[in-house]
Amino acid sequence: MPDDALKLKRLRLVNFRKFGGLSIDFDDRLTVLIGDNGSGKTAVLDAAAIALGAFLIRVNSPHHTIVGRGVQASDMRLRSSRTGSVISNQPQPLEIQAAAVFRNDDVVWSRTMNESSRRQGGMLRHVTQASQALQREITEGGKTSLPLFAYYGTGRLWLHKRDRQYSEGFFSKGFSRANGYIDCLDYANNEKLMLNWFERMTQIELQKQQLGVDCRIPELDAVREALARCFTDLTGRRQVSVIFDLSVNSLMLVDSDDSGSPQMLPFENLSDGYRNTLSLIADIAYRMAMLNPDAEHILDSPGVVLIDEIDLHLHPKWQERIIHDLITIFPRVQFIVSSHAPSVISSVKSTHLRGIRQVQVGETQTDVFGNPILSDGLSESERSLRYTAYIPTVESYGHNAGTVLEDIMGANDRPSSVKRELSRFHHALDTGNLAEAEARLSSLENELGNDPDLVAGRVSLDLERLDGDDALD
């Protein structure tokens, strides 16, 4: 592993949100969290953001206070108890244990909160040392790559930071590598800060042009490259570039039509699917450019990126490409994402998937320190609060949506009423009741049209009739 790499390896959650306990490990490159609504996927991503926020404890910018994600009192699991006719909810002591590899060193830490103090605590010595190392790189002008941290919640398209600090001209105060960490783990989008960076870098580029000097700005070129590559992959269009139009203070995609004439597409006028994806790519890339402006290959910066519902607003044909695009454009980032989309799930190997389930009787887990956690001796109610992550035993990569829905996500690939009618048709066929089979199949054909399963059913029914005719002969 390169000397500047950062990988989040494991989390152990105790009394965090719905979880009395949860153990989960992460793939070094990509982890896709799957499961029903309410299974805890967002809680895992929030916990990861809180854990990673400890890396920013000692990081400061001369232009802005860097605040990492912290534990809130609302994160503590509530335990209900009854005294007479009164039911009370008692917050339980919360702990997030985490293990990572940072610059080839194992880092283990925890973040805690208890009901009595409602203050954050935890075992932070190792991660604080790592945070101090990041700050030294920033203040002493080091050249070692700083890792990216970023979290993109489900409100990333419409939930924006409202902060006067991000008014026009924010970056005219000067640049600090630490600015790449501003609001990086906040669930709210900070698109304004990104656009201000584009504006300032474009102004510098124009000033260089006016002075007749080399106007190339590698960090701006890197962000433009990331956006152009993504847009090209989504649309298949090859003549794409990205500019910031100072006359209207807007990011523009410049695309050539069939005649070769350029078309200006304002960023804010794009569809939700385009804008959501390109905004995410742009935010990752510009943060890399701020963190590592002198890197030879800025898009090769290391880091951990968390994305809730990566398929948000995306057409299925984009869903199957989004993960490939992310890991290709940003080859050294560890992505931890959640998804409900079969198109996303079938685009990755099952070894990258993590579902969440309750622990079984006698099942042994380990915490981030390698200590065993036994479920023996727990009451049924206590065991119901213990969860673990698992890798599906069925391969996901390349399978159709129906297989993914049924075998991996545990959902029906068709409406229940249609499945019942199909089952009744096959039962009639198997028992030789061809008249009933014909009636049920014809009804389904009227409803569903040219469905592959119905075509196969029609062939089977016709063959049964031929066999019957042969027997009569």
Q: Which residue has the higher pLDDT, 384 or 471?
A: 384
Supply the pLDDT for residue 164: 46
- 454 pLDDT tier (thresholds 50, 70, 90): confident
User: Which residue spans of the chain are classified as CATH 3.40.50?
Assistant: 6-189+299-408
Looking at every residue in the chain, the average pLDDT score rounds to 83
Backbone angles phi, psi at 335, to 5 degrees: -105, 130
**What number is the average pLDDT over the span 465-470?**
68
Supply the pLDDT for residue 99: 95
- 130 pLDDT tier (thresholds 50, 70, 90): very high
Supply the pLDDT for residue 256: 72
Instruction: Name the residue among 159, 234, 243, 239 with its Cα closest to residue 195.
Output: 243
CATH 3.40.50 fits 6-189+299-408, yes or no: yes
- 149 pLDDT tier (thresholds 50, 70, 90): very high
Instruction: Name the residue among 333, 322, 253 with its Cα closest to residue 297.
Output: 333
Q: Is the pLDDT score of 225 beyond 80?
A: yes
- 374 pLDDT tier (thresholds 50, 70, 90): low
pLDDT in tens, 284-322: 999 999 999 999 999 999 999 999 999 887 878 888 889
pLDDT in tens, 40-84: 999 999 999 999 999 999 998 887 778 788 888 899 998 877 777
Q: Is the pLDDT score of 189 beyond 70?
A: no
Q: Which residue has the higher pLDDT, 128 or 362?
A: 128
| Distance (Å, whole) CA 42 – CA 47 | 8
pLDDT in tens, 195-209: 888 888 888 888 888
Supply the pLDDT for residue 239: 77
Supply the pLDDT for residue 363: 67
Q: Is the pLDDT score of 271 beyond 50?
A: yes
pLDDT in tens, 319-350: 888 999 999 999 999 999 999 888 888 889 99
Supply the pLDDT for residue 381: 60
CB neighbourhood size of 119 (10 A): 10
Q: Which residue has the higher pLDDT, 263 or 155?
A: 263
Percent of residues, the chain, with pLDDT higher than 70: 85
Supply the pLDDT for residue 51: 95
